[in-house]
Structure 1
Amino acid sequence: MVASPRQPALQPVPSPSGRGVARLLRHWQLLAAAVVPCLILAGIGWWFWPQQPTSGPPHIAAGTVQADLLGPDSVSRVAGTTVVAGAQSNRPHDPLTVSPSACAVAAGPTTQSVYGQVWTAFVSATYKDAGATGAYTVNQVIGVFPDNAKADAAFATLTKGLNACSSSTRTDQDGRTSKWMYKAQPSTQVAVAWTAAQDGNANWACSHQARVNGTSLVQVTVCQAGDGQPAAAKLADKLTRKVSR
């Protein structure tokens, strides 16, 4: 009978001494002290990290001037052609460089020459033809003032400036000049219409409509070959009804 090999006896694992336990605890305390602040900072960084733009349409808060704008579909139905949203601005541009200087309003009716600096809310939005050919553009402007009197004063500045100018030469930022002719229709206390035609560009013009409604001064411009006044008037009426301030 063959005897089974003798198994080695298991040696007992020595228990750590009090000094070893202290060193172990100290090691974990140092590790925690280093890691926990990093985790906290990472969490704070994630919380305040700027949100990346999404591919969806921007949120438009109800009650703002942006919410009062006519949408591209609504404009397309009136215009009889498909337009898409383009650039927007939340403040009027600086006055244009124009000669004679008295034509600053006629040349830049949606700039600071009319809206000044006392407005409380402002938006200017341009829609272009879907083919991006520049053959058809629509601009909407809403300027809200602190009270009716200031809105009326801005409208008076607009009508006075239109009556003071029949033609002007504009200079753009690149130093190029263009000559424009203006023809205003008789204004009422709340509305005015006029046309700006560029010299040398046959049958192409910008048809303007402006309305004052309470504390708001709205404008619509339709630029196209031919008469854009009927479309501009319809769009201005629709825009004015939407403006509730």
Structure 2
Amino acid sequence: MLRHWPLLVAAVVPCLVLAGIGWWMWPQQPAGLVPHVAAGTVQAGVLSADSVSRLAGTTVVAGPQSDRPHAALAVAPAECAVAAGPTTQAVYGQAWKAFLSATYQDSGGAGAYTVNQVIGVFPDAEKAGAAFQTLTDGLAGCPSATVTGQAGRSSTWTYAAHPVTEVAVAWTASQDGSAGWACYHQARVKGTSLVQASVCQAGDGEPTTSKVADELTAKVTG
């Protein structure tokens, strides 16, 4: 499973961001220091590791975070940049005014189980809706793609989306030849925010993704 982690954290890395990306190296808080989190901020919106552990039924610990979407992934065909990197600039662009991507992983640190949460806040509901439309259009136009990571290693993913509503979409990104490794995604647009949750594992991560997405969306204020 270690070979999956670098791609996962990238987009969360469908997964990445895919869904997630082990190469996000961000400064860590000093041990024992509880950071101040202001109410109403994107930092206050994401679920804690303890909350996610409760929903997942397994212990996860905090991993990398990013305060801006990463560049679109290297993918073929090029029109699959959205499906391959739903939390990257391919979807969120440059119009957002606040952004946070937080990835948690299994307590063993092996990358065998990852959970990613993303909150992107836009200046108005129209821009948030446009980003959501970009996401759903990109998913509809990409059944599969080959993603190349920073180390030059490539992997092929198959994407399957559920029917889209006006405010939500769910889809699965499955890695070919990986013994069931897949990333389960949900995205919701709420007011001026586009939020996403994903769970990557070798098993059915859809129930946990739904729970995380529900609680994450409920915490978003605008």
Identify the TM-score tier after normalising by the shorter chain. Answer: 0.7 to 0.9
More strand by share: 2
Tell whether 2:104 aligns with 1:122: no
Tell whether 2:162 aligns with 1:185: yes
In structure 2, C-alpha distance between the alignment counterparts of 1:227 and 1:130, rounded to whole Å:
19
In structure 1, C-alpha distance between the alignment counterparts of 2:139 and 2:74, rounded to whole Å:
16
Q: Show the 5 A alignment for 1:51-130.
A: 55-130=32-107
Query: Which segments of 5 or more consecutive residues in structure 1 lack a partner in the other structure?
Result: 1-51
Structure 1 runs of 4+ aligned residues shifted over 2 Å read 52-55
More helix by share: 1
RCO higher in structure (CA 8 A, sep ≥6): 2
Residue 137 of structure 1 aligns to which amino acid in structure 2? T
State the Cα distance separating 1:54 from its structure 2 match: 6.4
Q: Which residue of 1 aligns with 2:144?
A: 167
Tell whether 2:158 aligns with 1:207: no
Residue 78 of structure 2 aligns to which amino acid in structure 1? S
Residue 121 of structure 1 aligns to which amino acid in structure 2? A
In structure 1, C-alpha distance between the alignment counterparts of 2:178 and 2:34, rounded to whole Å:
36
Q: Secondary structure at the match of 1:188?
A: coil
Residue 219 of structure 1 aligns to which amino acid in structure 2? Q
Q: Which residue of 2 aligns with 1:31?
A: none
Residue 112 of structure 1 aligns to which amino acid in structure 2? Q
In structure 1, C-alpha distance between the alignment counterparts of 2:182 and 2:133, rounded to whole Å:
24
Residue 134 of structure 2 aligns to which amino acid in structure 1? T
In structure 2, C-alpha distance between the alignment counterparts of 1:235 and 1:53, rounded to whole Å:
27
Residue 154 of structure 1 aligns to which amino acid in structure 2? A
Q: Which residue of 2 aligns with 1:133?
A: 110
In structure 1, C-alpha distance between the alignment counterparts of 2:62 and 2:172, rounded to whole Å:
23
Query: Which segments of 5 or more consecutive residues in structure 2 lack a partner in the other structure?
Result: 1-28
TM-score between both structures, scaled by the size of structure 2: 0.85
Match of 1:216 among 193, 208, 214: 193
In structure 1, C-alpha distance between the alignment counterparts of 2:37 and 2:31, rounded to whole Å:
14
In structure 2, C-alpha distance between the alignment counterparts of 1:90 and 1:109, rounded to whole Å:
16
Q: Secondary structure at the match of 2:215?
A: helix
Match of 1:233 among 206, 210, 213: 210
Q: Which residue of 2 aligns with 1:156?
A: 133
RMSD across aligned positions (CA): 1.2
Match of 1:143 among 99, 102, 120: 120
In structure 2, C-alpha distance between the alignment counterparts of 1:179 and 1:133, rounded to whole Å:
21
Q: Secondary structure at the match of 2:128?
A: helix
State the Cα distance separating 1:55 from its structure 2 match: 3.7
Q: Secondary structure at the match of 1:133?
A: coil
Percent identity (aligned): 69
State the Cα distance separating 1:131 from its structure 2 match: 1.1
Q: Secondary structure at the match of 2:55?
A: helix
Worse overlay, 173-182 or 93-102: 173-182
Deviation digits for residues 76-116 of structure 1, max 9, x if unmatched? 11101001111110000000000000100000000000000
State the Cα distance separating 1:53 from its structure 2 match: 5.2
State the Cα distance separating 1:57 from its structure 2 match: 2.4
